[in-house]
Amino acid sequence: MSHATMDEFATRALPDAAELTAAPAPGYWKSVGQRLSRDPVTIFVTLVLLCILFITLGAPLVATSDPYTGSVLMRLKPIGTPGHWLGTDETGRDLWTRLCYGGRLSLLAAVLPVSISLVVGGFLGIVAGYTGGIVGTLIMRTMDVFYAFPSILLAIAICGMLGNGLTNSILALAVVFIPPMVRVSETVTTQARHLDFVEAARASGTTTMQIIRYHVLANVLGPIMVYATSLISVSIILSAGLSFLGLGVTPPQAEWGLMLNSLRQAIYVQPYVAALPGLMIFITSMCFNLMSDGFRSAMDVRLSK
Amino acid sequence: MLVFAIRRLLQAIPILLGVSLVVFGLVHIVPGNPIDMLMPPEASPEVIAQMKAAFGFDKPLYVQYLLWLLRALHGDFGVSVFNASPVWGQLITALGNTFILAVFAAMLGFSMGILCGMIAALYHGRWPDKLFSAIATTGVSLPHYWCAIVLVLAFAVLNDYLPAQGMGDDSLPLYDRLQYLVLPVVTLSLIPMGVLGRLVRATVLEIIGQDFVGALAAKGLTRWPVIRHICKNAAPPVLALMGLQFGYLLGGSILVETVFNWPGSGNLLNLAIFRRDIPVLQATILVLATFFVVLNLLVDIAQAAIDPRMRR
């Protein structure tokens, strides 16, 4: 499953201990920008993502009709019908319009869980890594229990019990993403805490809060931000998957996973139209994946030549 | 080695207890008694009380948990609230069906992933490497439920090559029944292939860069013995990932099973959610999660058996 890649991303996001620095040297971000500007794939996928963002946020501008009004006479028209260039769905609503509006909820349901887990998981990880001892063990062992569930199973179980709805699907996914986020930030924090300059700072009387703020955060933010971008590609697939099962967004709202599910019944009538919402999920997930790959290699000091 | 295995086994017990707590707790994150949600609003209070007593929902939570756990340890998951048949029987059939899918998908996905990853690493930077990296990235960002729909589209709707629904009748000859496996197995194998291929490529590249490989070549070993040494060194991480991936195939096939109407554990879980059939729901999640923990345990022990450095 795509969620399986969460662990793969988690290991790739971790830097070597030797790579951690007190703070990025001046000009670091400039050199990252330079490397990005020489990477055509990353530029291309970022542009595609901006386009997707434009058609979803600017849906009222680009959509050709209303997303909720259908016509019984215009049900399940093929691609290229005059007035409905991507065809219509099972209640005669314009598919292009639905795809534009549907992206709003799909993106929201994917980005929000990652943001929540970034804040909560990052915080818990720093606490566990910095304090160590009983608190650290308690946090990490609790996370181990959640790690014992295949991620999609956990998401479906939580969402299934809470009942369907956008909020519940966001909550369920946030719970699923917190444990790997805690692991990434705990590992980096533990590494950073034992670095010589952090020991030196502590010896010279710097307070815990200051050490965390200036040294730990500076090191943790990079890896967990990169990890979060790669998680968004997983999150899009999972959140649309929950809606696909009927556990996420509720009809008649437009959302790619839900649209894919309702059009699936019509696969023998309009095969190509039925596959379109899934194509949007695929393209968006792929672009986030490639973008995070690009950012990672641009931010990796060892690869820069 | 034995000490390591025992210690690792003991570590799994608190995890399993935690898992059982989470599974039990899941049902109670929603306020209210599960029976109240099931009963029609016009049901009389006596009937509701009777139902609660019959399913044990009238006792305090911790008693319910302990009773449930004790019975579960004996393989008794109670009866389904929906059709009053024993949960265990339903679960075994469904798990068996999922297992068939997972085993075939794992065989296909793992062999393709290892083969492609090896080729990509040995031809590092040349066209096979670039081709494979593109395929692998596609494989990991593919929504597999959509991929399932596209495969149905291509092989069952537009052309009538393969069946797309269910797993066929028992009366059908073996060859016909195998046809029902093709589409779900191919769909499920794509992600393990991509994930494993990427890991194999990265691991093999790292090993090729090490001094001992150069030394082997300098000693005059030919290509294949050198590759054999590389394989032996790449085995532990690859093995670990294979274990994880197999667990995901068992526990995460719910979406693909839904598309293909495959009567497996994912389908059972889906039905249980929509029927609010709590005993079935708890049992399915608990058994799948337990499988996952045990699989991880076995992988750890196997890793330690191959590589003594892992026996920390």
Q: What is the pLDDT of residues A56-77, one digit of tens each?
A: 888 787 777 777 777 777 777 7
3-class state of residue A69 by DSSP: coil
What is the reported pLDDT for B105?
93
| A245 with B153: Cβ contact below 8 A | no
Mean of the pLDDT values across residues B284-290? 89
Q: Which helix or strand (DSSP H or E) is residue B144 part of?
A: helix B144-152
Q: Contact, B213 vs B231, CB < 8 A?
A: no
Chain A, window 5-24: residues with a beta carbon less than 8 angstroms from a chain B beta carbon: 5, 7-8
Say how far apart CA B203 and CA B105 lie, in whole Å: 23
Tokens of residue B62, six digits:
């911790």
Q: Which residue in A7, A141, A145 has the most chain B C-beta atoms within 10 A of its own C-beta, making it the best mutation to test that interface?
A: A145
User: Smallest CA–CA separation between A161 and chain B, in Å?
Assistant: 6
Say how far apart CA B201 and CA B199 lie, in whole Å: 5
Selecting from A4, A240, A278 the residue whose C-beta is nearest the C-beta of B244 gives A4
Give contacts of B260 with chain A, Cβ < 8 Å: none
| A289 with B137: Cβ contact below 8 A | yes
Give contacts of B255 with chain A, Cβ < 8 Å: 152, 241, 244-245
| A1 with B199: Cβ contact below 8 A | no
B32 in the Ramachandran plot: left (φ > 0), alpha (ψ -120 to 50) or beta?
A: left
Q: Which residue in B37, B248, B274, B280 has the most chain A C-beta atoms within 10 A of its own C-beta, making it the best mutation to test that interface?
A: B248
Q: Is the pLDDT of residue B90 over 50?
A: yes
Whether A268 contacts chain B with CB within 8 A: yes
| B254 with A156: Cβ contact below 8 A | yes
Whether residue A251 has a cis bond before it, omega within 30° of 0: no
Selecting from A148, A157, A236 the residue whose C-beta is nearest the C-beta of B15 gives A148
Whether A281 contacts chain B with CB within 8 A: yes
Higher pLDDT, A267 or A258: A258
Q: Which helix or strand (DSSP H or E) is residue A144 part of?
A: helix A133-147
What is the reported pLDDT for A3?
45
Whether A293 contacts chain B with CB within 8 A: yes
Higher pLDDT, A48 or A76: A48
What is the reported pLDDT for A205?
83
Q: Is the pLDDT of residue A5 over 80?
A: no
| B149 with A264: Cβ contact below 8 A | yes
Q: Is the pLDDT of residue A304 over 50?
A: no
Whether A168 contacts chain B with CB within 8 A: no
Mean of the pLDDT values across residues B214-221? 84
Mean of the pLDDT values across residues B83-89? 80
Give contacts of B248 with chain A, Cβ < 8 Å: 1, 3-4, 150, 152
Q: Which helix or strand (DSSP H or E) is residue B47 part of?
A: helix B45-55
| A150 with B292: Cβ contact below 8 A | yes
Confidence tier at B226 by pLDDT (50, 70, 90): confident
What is the reported pLDDT for B89?
84
* Nearest residue on chain B to A41, alpha-carbon basis: B134
Give contacts of B258 with chain A, Cβ < 8 Å: 244-245
B2 Cβ neighbours under 8 A, 6+ residues apart: none
pLDDT > 90 in chain B, percent: 7
Say how far apart CA B238 and CA B243 lie, in whole Å: 9
Q: Is the pLDDT of residue A296 over 90?
A: no
What digits encode the pLDDT tens for the residues B101-115? 999 999 999 999 999
Q: Which helix or strand (DSSP H or E) is residue A244 part of?
A: helix A217-244
Interchain CB contacts (distance < 8 Å): A and B: 158
Give contacts of A278 with chain B, Cβ < 8 Å: 143, 145-146, 149-150
Q: Is the pLDDT of residue B203 over 80?
A: yes
Whether A285 contacts chain B with CB within 8 A: yes
Amino acid letter, B176: D
* Nearest residue on chain A to B102, alpha-carbon basis: A1
Give contacts of B195 with chain A, Cβ < 8 Å: 4-5, 8
What is the reported pLDDT for A207?
84
Say how far apart CA A106 and CA A254 lie, in whole Å: 9
Selecting from B191, B270, B296 the residue whose C-beta is nearest the C-beta of A1 gives B191
User: Smallest CA–CA separation between A210 and chain B, in Å?
Assistant: 35
| B145 with A241: Cβ contact below 8 A | yes
Selecting from B140, B149, B241 the residue whose C-beta is nearest the C-beta of A267 gives B149
Higher pLDDT, B269 or B47: B269
Selecting from A148, A240, A275 the residue whose C-beta is nearest the C-beta of B292 gives A148
* Nearest residue on chain B to A146, alpha-carbon basis: B19
Q: Contact, A102 vs A277, CB < 8 A?
A: yes
Tokens of residue A246, six digits:
């009927």
Say how far apart CA B290 and CA B12 lie, in whole Å: 10
Selecting from A151, A158, A264 the residue whose C-beta is nearest the C-beta of B26 gives A158
Say how far apart CA A300 and CA A24 lie, in whole Å: 12
Tokens of residue A231, six digits:
């998680």
* Nearest residue on chain B to A279, alpha-carbon basis: B146
Confidence tier at A179 by pLDDT (50, 70, 90): very high
Give contacts of A237 with chain B, Cβ < 8 Å: 141, 143-144
ipTM over 0.85: no
